Amino acid sequence: MTSPGTAPFRIRIFADGAEVGAMRKRYREGFVRGFTTNPTLMNKAGLRDYAGFAREVLAVIKDLPISFEVFSDDFAEMERQALLISSWGPNVNVKIPITNTQGAPALPVIKSLLAKNVKLNITAILTREQWLGVRELMRPADDVIISIFAGRIADTGVDPVPMMTQAVEDFRALPQAHILWASPREALNVYQAEACGCHIITATDDLISKVQTLRGKSLADYSLDTVKMFHNDAKKAGFQL
């Protein structure tokens, strides 16, 4: 029988980042089941050639979904970028922010792209009103990731679990709608997202390592490891009283 620490997750874990080396490593491991990027992560990684970065990644990752985001604030240009990004590969989902920087809903662009059968990832969603707006546009065959930023919801003091559970229910009749728990803050969020029925959760490289290392670990053993860490660090620091 498979132990709790090794049983496969039902939820799909997507690696969130823009470091090509880390993405290749995670792909080769076979643990993650998709990838997401965004302009902030790409800028942090020092990337300046967007298309070049995408080509490098897609040359290796050909059989798992990967999301690349538009960066224009103008809706017409946003759609042009989306069509271009979509052409990069059959495993590409185009990330469209739920609004532009002026707060204008991106629903007309989303509707137009869905009519052209573009696979989308609607990002930066934090309210039910926002995801229901997308829900109203979708047909059963539309392949759309609904990225709800549960971590940011939690940052405001609001429990995201009821909201994520509601989102799963709201999209239940759409078989190609994938509810994604975005911006997790800790390993517990992976288990919470799975319990809510979410289809996907994104995770940074550090968080993926934590989940891989600690899933099913004995709390007594973890306590001992913690004590040893404190003791060893005190020795390294040369503390004396």
Query: CA-CA distances (angstroms) from residue 10 to 192, 196, 197, 240?
Result: 12, 11, 9, 50
The values of phi and psi at residue 129, to 5°, are: -55, -40
Position 168, amino acid: V
DSSP states of 46-78: T---HHHHHHHHHTT--SS-EEEE---SSHHHH
Q: What's the length of the chain?
A: 241
123: tokens are 């990002």
Task: Burial-class residue 122 by CB neighbours within 10 Å (0-12, 13-18, 19+).
Answer: buried
Query: CA-CA distances (angstroms) from residue 39 to 12, 190, 217?
Result: 23, 24, 35
95 in catalytic set: yes
Q: Are 143 and 114 in contact (CB under 8 A)?
A: no
175: tokens are 């078989």
DSSP 127: S
Position 31, amino acid: F
Q: Which of 25, 62, 95, 217 is catalytic?
A: 95
Q: Could you give the residue numbers annotated as active site?
A: 95
